[in-house]
Structures are given as structure tokens and as C-alpha cells.
A and B are shown apart, each in its own frame.
Chain A
Amino acid sequence: MKLFFVFFKYHIKERMEYRSAFIVGVCAQTLAYAANYLVVWMLMQKFGAINGWSWPEVAFLYSIGLFVYAIGASFTFVQMQSLEEMVRDGTFDIILIKPRNPFYYFVTSTFNNGYIAHLLLSGTILVWSLSQLKIEWNLLKVIYFCLNIASGSLVIAGLLTIIGSLTFRVIRLQFLFRLFNRLREFISYPISIYSLFIQILLVFIIPLAFVNFVPSSFILAKEFQYDGNITYILSPFIGPILFYIAYLFWMSNLNRYQGAGG
């Protein structure tokens, strides 16, 4: 953990060398995500509700999705994406000779602070949507909400880790990452609008439903067509379990790694 903060400090220092470029970049990213919100808002304005979800409810759902994604991706996305190049040019070997767990060292050695825009915007909209929605908060809901934010982040991190570990097998990943981003668009809307096949896919196979839909349904007290209680109880555990599986998968794939640099 100490190691992480040392890296983190240097990373922030490095970024702040180019402060104005960094700030302009954050503004542009905020604008891009604001555009996504705008489109959803226009859709909701025109049609009132989507499958019984009002605009503040969809905003709540969407914001949790974006917020959780930013947390999960900030310590996996760039790492896993750069892995491909590191393997190709042989710099990855440096990580293997460090006296640390290679996964832990690899994940903490870089940290992407490019998600400030995501967090600021989704956080703001989240607070706004909460002010619009009359949710009866109790201790259980608060704890459940926090646990699910953590668990959802681990779902995202786990899925990205699984994709990243495929580098050791197939070498080219950019299309898989793009596909992952497409899949992520499914959870911008309540997943109950999709056909049963896709819902099953998002719950059991690529468990993105647990990132925002399941916890939002619980907190907003939505009717849930599956066996609600079991899904709700399972939800905070899905992330840790998936991330652990992803970790094992990454490590087992690492064992196949022979090094590409001659």
C-alpha cells in the first residue's frame, strides 16, 4: 500500500508539470460526457419515461455507472491497455524481476488520473438526482450503496483485467477494449428494456448489471423481475469474487508468458 502512494505522488507531480493542458483536457472530457447526458435527457424529455424509469431515476442509474467505471478503470484500464505494448517491446520483463507480486506491482505502478472529469460530472449529477428523488434512506441502504460502489468498481476492474490478461495469448487487444466499451453502453439504460437473452448475458456472463442496475433497483425500490432478494444480497459480493477470479486468471496467463523481446 505504501508503494502505491509513493507511485501516486510521483504520478501527480508528473502530471502537474503540464497543468494547463491537463485542465483543458479535463474540461473537454467533461463536455463529452455532458453530451451523453444531454442526449439521454432529450430522450427522456421527449418520451417521459423509459420502462417506468423517470429522468432523475435514469440520471441516477447512469451516474452510478459512470462513477463506478471511473473508479474501477482508473487503476486498471491504462495498465491493461499498455500491457500489449510492454509485452511487445519487452519492458514488461522489468516487472517480473521485482521482488513483489507482479500483479500488484503492475497495477499500482501507474495510476490514471484522467478520470477526474468522469468523477466530477457523475458525482454532481448523482447529487442532483438524489435531490430530485424522494428516497427514504436508512442505515441499511447507505451501507448497501457504499458496498455496491466498491463492488461495482471491482466488477469493472475485474473485467478489464480479464481482457488485459489475454495479451499473453493473442497479443492484440484494442478491438476487445472497444467491444467492452460498447457493452458498457448497455448499462446506460435500465437493462429491463432488453430482450431476455441480453439480460441473462448482463447478469450471469458479463455481470455488468451489478455495476448499476441491481443496486439502483434496490435503492429506488423498483420492481425486479428476477428473484429480487437473492440478487440484491449477492450484488455486493459479485465484484470481489469476479476480481479475485480475474486475478487468478491474469496470474495463470502470466505463467504462459515467455517474453517477446529476444
Chain B
Amino acid sequence: MGYISYGIKAFLQQISYRTEVWLQVLGNFLLILIQVSIWKVVIGNDQVEGISLEQMITYSVINTLIATLLLTEVFKSVDNELKTGKIAIYLIKPVLYPLFLIAENIGRALYRFIFTAIPTMIICIFIFEVHTPFSFMHGFAFIIALFLGIIISFLIGYFIALVSFWFLTTFALDWSLGALMTVFSGSFFPLWFFPPTWRFFAEILPFQFLGFIPAAIYLGEIPKEQLFQTLFIGCSWTILLVIMVILLWKKAMKRLIIQGG
């Protein structure tokens, strides 16, 4: 499989930055520390909406780990290749461009996970109290939800990349996506604490799979009976996004040819 070697190449490229790894671990840790400090102040020894401080600490740690695995930044490499025209090279090669992008970005994400997320987690386990998954079943569902989250993040990033074929810049799209992710992924502020209207919007959008859903499953806050339904919604989003991306890809290709003129 040629794609795997692309992934390995991307992974190895990242290794040349290994001296900066401790800075990234420190950054991750600081983020968790900020969140833990906030939850300590507002929750204390109580429970809010049935959520305790220890659960929120685990929630913050899990979400920091999830964030390192997300592939939304895929549009950045497309943006670059679009501007330099390098994209043409990939289109004439006997590879499927989207699969190449997946391979490349998974390679990078794997690097981030091994060298930054795992050390961060080890530090957190020593310093804070981090829960294990609620049950075996929830642990298993967590892994599936995490995979769904990674795929959805790739599709959203790729969608943005394709839209940028029309705008020729991803600047505005980048910031807008950032806005949506900040609020609706729930990676810092979980959906449990949302006011009803905002919660409604968060639940009809796919961004909750990029943080809230996997972490909530991990903590067992989504009951067993609803696990299947939740994962089903995630799969539906994946399919819907795949269809949207394929349609947009076809249009974008036509557009690209016109541009090359």
C-alpha cells in the first residue's frame, strides 16, 4: 500500500521537530491546568448536573488527547498546495488525492499522539486523579466514537479545503471553523452545562463528535441504552459528509481546470 508509506513519511518528517516536543507537552499540560483550576473553583466538592470535579478533570484530560488526534487542519496543506500549484502533481499521480491526504495527516496525528498526548497523559495521571473508562462497554464505545470523531474532523477539514477552491484563501474559513469548534465541540465547556437553546444547536451539529461525545461516553454519562443511537448519529454524519465532499470535489475539479486554463 503506497498510502501507508506516505503516512510513514509524514510521521518521520515530524520527528525532525522532536526537540520542541517538551514545549508542546508543556502547552497541553498548561491548558489542562487552566481548565482544572476553573472546575475546582466552580464545582468544588459539589456535583453540578450530576458531574463531579474528578469527572471534569478526566473530561479535560481526555479532550486534550482527542484534540491532538483531530485532522481538521488538513485544509492547511491543501491551501498551500493550491496556492503553489503543487496540487497538479498529486492529481496526475495514480493516487487518490483524498486518501493521500488522510495518510499524510494520520501520520502527523500519530506523531502528535505518541510524542505529545501520551507524555501529557502520564504527567496528568501522576498529578490529578484521572478515571478509567466507566465500563468495558463504554471503553469500547469510546474507541469507536473517537474513530468517528477523527473521520468527521477530516471530512470537515477537507470540506473547508474544497470550499477554498472558490475563495482561494482559507483565512476566513479557518477562523470561522475555529469559532464553531470552540463552542460546539464542547471540548472545554461540556454540553451538560449549556443553556437549553445552545444545547439544542450543539446537538444538531456534528461538532460534538470532536470532543464532547467521546469524552461523555468515556465517563459513562451516556447510558448504555443510548450508546448505539449516539454512534448511529455519528455514522450518519460521516456518510452525509462523505456525500457532500464527493459532490463538492467534482465541482471543484471542474473549477480547477478552468483556472489552469
Residue of B whose beta carbon sits closest to that of A29: B175
Whether A27 contacts B42 in the complex (CB less than 8 A), given A35-B183, A172-B20, A194-B37, comes out as no
Q: C-beta contact mask, B184-217 vs A, less than 8 Å → 1, else 0?
A: 0000110001110010000000000000000000
Whether A50 contacts B38 in the complex (CB less than 8 A), given A35-B180, A176-B23, A182-B31, comes out as yes
- Is A21 an interface residue, CB under 8 A from the partner? yes
Smallest distance from the beta carbon of A228 to chain B beta carbons, Å? 21
B38 to A189, Cβ gap below 8 A? yes
| Chain B residues, Cβ within 8 Å of A34 | 179
A193 to B173, Cβ gap below 8 A? no
Query: Which of B24, B175, B193 contacts A25 (CB under 8 A)?
Result: B175
B-side binding surface: helix, strand, loop or mixed? helix
Question: Complex formed: what's the CA distance from A222 to B46 in Å?
Answer: 26
- Is B256 an interface residue, CB under 8 A from the partner? no
| Chain A residues, Cβ within 8 Å of B95 | none
Question: Complex formed: what's the CA distance from A28 to B182 in Å?
Answer: 13
User: How many residue pairs between the two chains, A and B, have CB atoms under 8 Å in the bound complex?
Assistant: 95
Q: Count how many chain B residues have C-beta atoms less than 8 Å from C-beta atoms of the other chain.
A: 35
Interface residues of B in 13-38 (CB under 8 A from A): 17, 20, 23-24, 26-27, 30-31, 33-34, 37-38
Whether A38 contacts B183 in the complex (CB less than 8 A), given A31-B176, A175-B24, A176-B23, comes out as yes
Ordered by A's residue number, 7 sampled pairs between the chains whose C-beta atoms are within 8 Å are A21-B167, A21-B172, A31-B176, A38-B182, A39-B189, A175-B17, A179-B27
- Given contacts A46-B48, A185-B31, could you give 20 more A-B pairs where the C-beta distance is less than 8 Å? A21-B169, A27-B172, A28-B172, A32-B182, A35-B178, A35-B179, A35-B180, A35-B183, A36-B182, A38-B182, A39-B188, A42-B194, A46-B42, A50-B42, A178-B27, A179-B27, A179-B30, A185-B30, A189-B38, A193-B37
